[in-house]
Amino acid sequence: MNETAPDKMTETFTLENPSEPPKGSRFQLLALFGVAGVLIVGMLLYLSPGEKHPAGPGAQAHLAFGPAEQAYAPSIQIENLTLTKNENFLQQEVTSLTGEVVNSGSRPLRDVEVTIEFFDDMRQVVLRETRAVLGGNPPAIAPGERREFEVSFEHIPSSWNTQHPGVKVTGISFASAKE
């Protein structure tokens, strides 16, 4: 038998520079950072208060408005409403609504939630926000007492008719007689 020597195969290997990552891994690294960034921003938006639940007195879950609260709501008046426009420290225009909550009923109140509606010239709602106006842990409002409140809005649509907004009681937290 005639054995022939196998052909010499020549293979060329390229050694990668260990200090430089492979081309595909750069894209993977950028994609990983992008996904991580999106997740972090998403979590911050989800966990932080947004426009509907601003920081401060209104930053809480909605107050109860069952049959007992609905029956009591006519005993709560919102009076002396005033609108003012100011600039905040970022030189953005802020509109503030101040007023008084009057408890003309027979039960003490821990907090009152109101829904505020801004309208356009056709009386269509252009902004509706619900806020607890007393918030925190102030002393309860006893029957016959009144308490001042202030609610600020950073952005009201330009279609607003610049008239006083509608304000109605949409939640109540009764205080115990001992508060």
Per-residue pLDDT, 93: 86
Buried b (16+ CB within 10 A) or exposed e, 27-52: eeeeeeeeeeeeeeeeeeeeeeeeee
Mean pLDDT over 160-177 rounds to 93
Mean pLDDT over 138-155 rounds to 92
- 131: three-class secondary structure by DSSP: strand
Per-residue pLDDT, 172: 95
Q: Is residue 60 part of a domain?
A: no
**pTM, rounded to two decimals:** 0.64
Q: Is residue 135 part of a domain?
A: yes
CATH number at residue 159: 2.60.40.10
For residues 68 and 19, the model is more confident at 68
Domain count, the chain: 1
Domain range for residue 111? Answer: 67-174
Per-residue pLDDT, 79: 96
Residues 20-76: tens digit of each pLDDT: 555 567 777 777 776 766 666 665 555 544 434 344 444 457 899 999 999 999 999
Q: Is residue 128 part of a domain?
A: yes
Contacts of 99 (CB under 8 A, 6+ apart): 78, 79, 80, 81, 82, 148, 149, 167
Q: Is residue 86 part of a domain?
A: yes
Asked if residue 165 has pLDDT above 60, the reply is: yes
Q: Is residue 62 part of a domain?
A: no
Contacts of 90 (CB under 8 A, 6+ apart): none
Q: Is residue 52 part of a domain?
A: no
Q: Is residue 90 part of a domain?
A: yes
**Given pLDDT bands bounded at 50, 70 and 90, which one contains residue 89?**
confident
Residues 26-40: tens digit of each pLDDT: 777 777 776 766 666
Q: Is residue 4 part of a domain?
A: no
| DSSP secondary structure of 109-121 | EEEEEEEEEEE-T
